[in-house]
Every structure is written in C-alpha cells, then in structure tokens.
Amino acid sequence: MLSAADNDLLTRTGAGTPMGQFFRRFWQPVALSRELPEPDGAPLRVNIMGERLVAFRNSDGVVGLVDARCPHRGADLYFGRNESCAIRCVFHGWQFDIQGRPVELPNVPPDASYHDTLRLKAYPTREYGEVVWAYMGPEPWGRDLPEVPQLEFGSLPASHRFVTKKLQECNWAQSIEGALDTSHFSFLHMPAPCVRSNENPDAPADEKRLRWIREDPLPEFSILDHEVGFVVGGARRADGGTRYWRSAQFALPSHSTTPSTLPGETHFGYTWVPIDDESCWIYTYAWNPDRPLTDDERAKFSEGHGVIAEVDARFFPIRNRANEYLIDRTHQKHISYTGVRGVAEQDAMIQDSQGRIHDRTQEHLSASDAAVVRFRRTVLAGAKALARGVEPEAPRKHEAYRLRSGSWFASEGVSFDQVMLERFGDAVGHVPAAAREPAPAMK
C-alpha cells in the first residue's frame, strides 16, 4: 500500500504538482493528427493535466496549441477564426500565432506596449506516428528541447500501423497499473469456466495460451530495468516442461506495451495522458514491423478489437461507466468471465470500479503485484527527484523508447534476460539496430 501523501503525489498532475511537473518534462500526446485534418480548419478543444487549451492547424499545416482563454477578456478561442497562420478571437479580433505572439490587436493603440509584451500561453508541437505531441515543460520555445520519444510504431510507414485513442473515466495511474498487471489475465479476460475459447468469439488469444494462463494464475515475475523504465516478465507453466513467458514494457512517464505478441503477430501499445485527476486519454496503437496491416485488420480495429475499444466519433467508449459497460449477466454465466464484451472494455470496467482515484492506502498487495510496485516506485522517485532539482534523464534518450514486448517459450531454469535475448535479440527488448530502418512503403 501507499501512504496518503504518496497516493496524492502519484495521482495529481496539475501544473503546480510534483507529478505534473514531472510529466511536463516529457512530450505528451494531445490529439490524433486526423482530428486536425486541414490547414485553417476548425480548432480542437484539448484538455490536458488540468489545462484548457485549443489546438489548430495553421495555414502552413503546422499545429498550434494555445491557452483556450483570450488574454483580453477571457473569451474561448475554440470559437475563434483559424486564419492567416494564426488564431483570432471573434470577440474583439485579437489574433495570435502558434508561439502565442500577437499578430493583430485591432482595438489596442499602435504604440501600446501590448504589441511587444503580451503573450498567449502556447506550447510547441510535433507530429510523429499520426499523433500530435506537445512539450509543456519549462522554456518550451527554447532551443534545447528533447526529442519526441521514438516509439517503434511511429517510425514505420503508415501502412504498418493503426492509431486511435479512447476516454478512460478514472485516474491515469490506476489505468496503467491495470495494463502492467499481467496476472489478472487469468481471470478478467477469460471465457467462462465452462467454455472453450473457440466457443467464445470474444476470447483474446488462442486456446493453448488461454489454457496455460487460466491454469497458472500465479506467474513467476522478473523485472529488468532499462534507461527509460523497465520490462516485466511473467512465466507460467506450459506443455512439455516448458514455461510460457509474457513480457510487457513500461517507459516513462506513461507508455506501455502488451505482453501476448508471438513472432509475426501484431504488437500493441498505449500512452496514458491525464485530462484531469479523474480521467485520461489512452492513445492506443497497433503495429506490425514486418508487413502492412491488412484491410480486414484495419476494419476490425476501427470497430473495436482486443485492446482497442469500440468508440464513437468523439472517441468515447460505447461501453462505459454510465451504461455499466453494457454488462450481460447471462453472457457472464455462460460465455465470458465478466459479461462485458471486449478486452479494452473489461479493463476499463474494473479500473473505473476502483474509484475515480484509487485509494492505495486500503489495499493489500501480493507477489503478483511486482510490476505495479515497481511502476509506483519509478514514477514517484522521478517526481520526488525533480522536486529536489534533479532533472529526469529519460526525455533525452528518445531512441531508447524503441522497445518491443511479447510472448516466448523457454525451458525451466532459463532466466528472463535470456528469454528476452532469444525473443528480441536484446536483453530488455530494444529494437535491434538492423530493424530500426522503416520497412519500404507498400504501393
């Protein structure tokens, strides 16, 4: 369990909080590129870590991210005009460029100091992997900004990836803890005990893997640290005296990858971005480094499949807190363990059920919570160090974010780092240098 003070430190990401300052040292996803499809198009509301912002793609195609409130009298710039490489408030015509500099102040005398001194809060952006990223740290327009983390999905041609997001109605930390907790797979995502996986259309893996996960609900955990986080492995008993290993990555401050992928299969990953302390966006991406995704795969992902939730046009999950995730008790009795359709939706249901902000002072952890404990220690240590004036090193190691995880089989007695070497050619899952060049785009 955590103390009340540490639980508060972990979960609060507003601008004046230690964790909020830590998060702001890293580039954060703020929108999907397709949400801002054209220059001079409609602005987009962006709420992140308690800040109300507006994004707009200017006349040159560059995304601006600025304070939602006009500094004149606080009108909402979401209703503004996106024109002439700047956002214009429709109240009195004040206009600002993507760096927050005034372009035109029609009702201000030409010799007034406002023209030189007034600034609208603005953050620099980059686009990588069909995601708009923003840097919200100190001196955001300085020359020495870190690079966007080079997560592998973004380095590949667009044909090899699918990127989306979904709203999560709870604090960011308990949601990422759910993703790092591989032991819950023995229950939460299982078919009902009386059902074989091939009789359950919602089953998230093949029958053998599901059987091994179900039959061994207490995996043996190993954790290896690396320069931007850690990788966790869970070993379960498999057939023929072998062990079935599942590995998952955590990278600072809030990136993770899923553990099930076998060679040749598609990888999945997430990035959690706090909206406020009681909700977050989960950016979810699927990628295959070896081949383009098929039309059938894209269709499934678009409709919701596995860890990719079914969402509406606003990226709000169809099955959510308000409608009790459309839980079907008959389905729960006869088909699935939860009665809720979809792996992503099952995760959301249980994470939301912990409360808007989980009270970690009341929990009783076990050995299977090793990755959750390491996650907490890692991010708390980073936030506390920054509060003492020690800047995090991970934002400057953008290449180290090219990480993979997934499944493998090994004999008894084989160590986790050896498993990772056999599976990925690297002891902690770095993408081998030979694989870092993007695959050729398919015509």
**Model pLDDT for residues 186-202, shown as the tens digit of each residue:** 888 888 777 655 554 55
Contacts of 230 (CB under 8 A, 6+ apart): 223, 224, 249, 250, 374, 378
Q: Are residues 37 and 61 in contact, defined by beta-carbon separation less than 8 angstroms? A: no
**pLDDT value at 153 more than 60:** yes
In the predicted model, is pLDDT for residue 32 greater than 50? yes
Which pLDDT band holds residue 441 (cuts at 50, 70, 90)?
A: very low
Residue 27 and residue 3 in contact, taking contact as beta carbons nearer than 8 Å: no
Q: What is the pLDDT of residue 192?
A: 78
Cα–Cα distance list, 155 to 130, 289, 290, 405 (Å): 10, 9, 13, 17
Specify the amino acid at residue 410: A
Predicted local confidence at residue 436, as pLDDT: 66
Q: In whole angstroms, how large is the CA radius of gyration of the chain? A: 23
* Percent of the chain scoring above 70 in pLDDT: 95
Mean pLDDT score, 219-223: 94
Q: For position 197, what pLDDT does the model report?
A: 53
| Amino acid in position 233 | G
- Helices within 169-326 (DSSP H only): 172-180, 207-215, 295-303
Q: Which two tokens stand for residue 132?
A: 């708009």
Kindly report, residue by residue over 357-397, the tens digit of the pLDDT. Answer: 999 999 999 999 999 999 999 999 999 999 999 999 999 99
User: Nearest CA to 372 among 200, 239, 256?
Assistant: 256
pLDDT class of 440 with cuts at 50, 70, 90: very low
Q: What is the pLDDT of residue 434?
A: 65
For 272-301, the pLDDT digits (tens) are 999 999 999 999 999 999 999 999 999 999
Place of tokens 């909080």: 17
For 159-169, what is each residue's pLDDT tens digit?
999 999 999 99
Which residues face 48 on adjacent strands? 51
The pLDDT value given to residue 261: 95
Which residue's structure tokens are 């620099």? 124
Exposed e or buried b per residue across 265-300, where buried means at least 16 C-beta atoms within 10 angstroms of its C-beta: ebbbbbbbbbbbbebbbbbbbbbbbeebbeeeeeeb
Q: Match 């999950």 to its residue by tokens.
A: 317
What distances in angstroms separate CA 188 from CA 71, 214, 363, 378, one per listed residue? 49, 10, 19, 26
- pLDDT at site 442: 35
Task: State pLDDT tens for residues 324-340.
Answer: 999 999 999 998 999 99
Nearest-angstrom CA–CA distance, 40 and 443: 30
Residue from 438, 151, 435 nearest 286 by CA: 151
- Neighbour tally for 106: CB within 10 Å: 9
- 436 or 62, which is more confident: 62
91, pLDDT greater than 80: yes
Domains of the chain: 28-134 (2.102.10.10), 152-435 (3.90.380.10)
pLDDT reported for residue 439:
44
Kindly state the average pLDDT of the residues 213-231.
93
pLDDT of residue 133: 98
Q: Closest by alpha carbon to 150, among 382, 432, 393, 397?
A: 397
Which pLDDT band holds residue 437 (cuts at 50, 70, 90)? low
Find the range with the poorest average confidence among 54-63, 212-221, 260-269.
212-221
What is the reported pLDDT for 205?
55
176 alpha carbon, distance to own chain's centre: 8
Q: Is the pLDDT of residue 438 over 80?
A: no
